[in-house]
Structure 1
Amino acid sequence: MREEACALVTAMAPGEPAAGAVDDGTRLTADLGYDSVRLVELAMALEQRFALPAMDFDELAEVRTVGDLLGLLAEHGGEG
């Protein structure tokens, strides 16, 4: 799941990661150019891809990095 989620994060990102690859420390806003609307779209795509229940917008608002997002996915039933 991790590799697929990272690939989706990269594919949907408005910007390119500075180092060319995303990792747990990659910042969604500062490094990849995500805004709140794009982050919601990403969450919906991940929910659909991994058949997860809908994420709470308050939880999603706390997500800053790819690692945060992967942790949230794991909390919602995705594999680590």
Structure 2
Amino acid sequence: MPNNSDSNVSTADALTLLLHNQHALAAAIEEVTKWLSENDVEDVADNAVVAMETLDTNAKAITDAIMRLRQL
């Protein structure tokens, strides 16, 4: 399959926007987690921490994909 530079750039740009959204969601979850912890809702706060860890893991994979696309 031939390299399509314009397609790669468009895909990388779209993934970058999704990554920015993911960072925004993580920040919001972090704020809610802090509030939950301060208000003794530890079980829910713990679940939120797990969600943030998943966002972090996926953000790394998205970042790697963006970098590969931009190198083509």
TM tier relative to shorter chain = 0.3 to 0.5
* Greater relative contact order (CA < 8 Å, ≥ 6 in sequence): 2
